[in-house]
Amino acid sequence: MANKVLRVSCILAAGAFAAAAYGDVIEDVKADIAADPDNADLYVELAMEYEYVSDWRQAVDAYLMALALVPNDADVHFRLAEVYFAVDKLAPSIDEYRKAVALDEGLDKAYYQMGRAYLGSKRYDEAVTALEKYVEVSPYDFNGMWFLGRSLERAGRKKDALQEYEKILDYCTGAYAAAGEIGVFGTSDDLAAYVRKLQKEVYGE
């Protein structure tokens, strides 16, 4: 019991130390901003420091300050979208992901995250469109294929969803099979069982 209490005390002390350390860094960045208020990179740095301590409101404010200076920076729009997504504010996250890809069509990860946000918002057709774009350029990303399959299912396209799930299983050979885990779904065995269930629903087998 004494050892457990000691471990908990150490964890709490470490957390408090980290929070204090980040607090010092935040104050340092604020001082830099005061000296150079038109430097968008400093606001981005400040936002990231707030993210480290899960101060999401302040992170949003800092990213918005950065965007006031560099409104056409796709990466900053993406970072702001990620903060909104982290706190389950899906509508503004989608808006920011859309702005990011409008400015940089090659920002592939934005299509992935935007698809997830659409899926969480029950906007399934739009989720499919975004995730199809992502999977097109990242064809071996199991998570991308799984979220695309899930979006297709929710959109009532179970046969198309099956194709995505089966594609994942086809890739699960060699090193992938040995690894066991295949992404957000779990193991290849988990997915195979789900595919068999879905096949019965679709084909009545």
| 87-108 residue pLDDT tens | 999 999 999 999 999 999 999 9
Segment 157-182 mean pLDDT: 73
Rounded Cα distance between 106 and 137, Å, is 9
Rounded Cα distance between 111 and 126, Å, is 11
Where does the pLDDT of residue 190 fall: very low under 50, low under 70, confident under 90, or very high at 90 and above?
confident
| 58 is a domain residue | yes
Tally the domains of the chain.
1
Domain that holds residue 37: 1-70
Q: Say what percent of the chain tops pLDDT 90.
A: 63
* Integer CA distances (angstroms), 133 to 31, 171, 187, in order: 42, 20, 25
| 32 is a domain residue | yes
| 135 is a domain residue | no
Q: Which pLDDT score, from 0 to 100, does residue 181 have?
A: 52
| 137 is a domain residue | no
Q: Which pLDDT score, from 0 to 100, does residue 184 have?
A: 65
Could you tell me which residue, 174 or 53, shows the higher pLDDT?
53
| 3 is a domain residue | yes
| 63 is a domain residue | yes
Segment 182-194 mean pLDDT: 74
The CATH number of residue 48's host domain is 1.25.40.10
Q: Which pLDDT score, from 0 to 100, does residue 76 have?
A: 98
pTM of structure: 0.82
| 168 is a domain residue | no
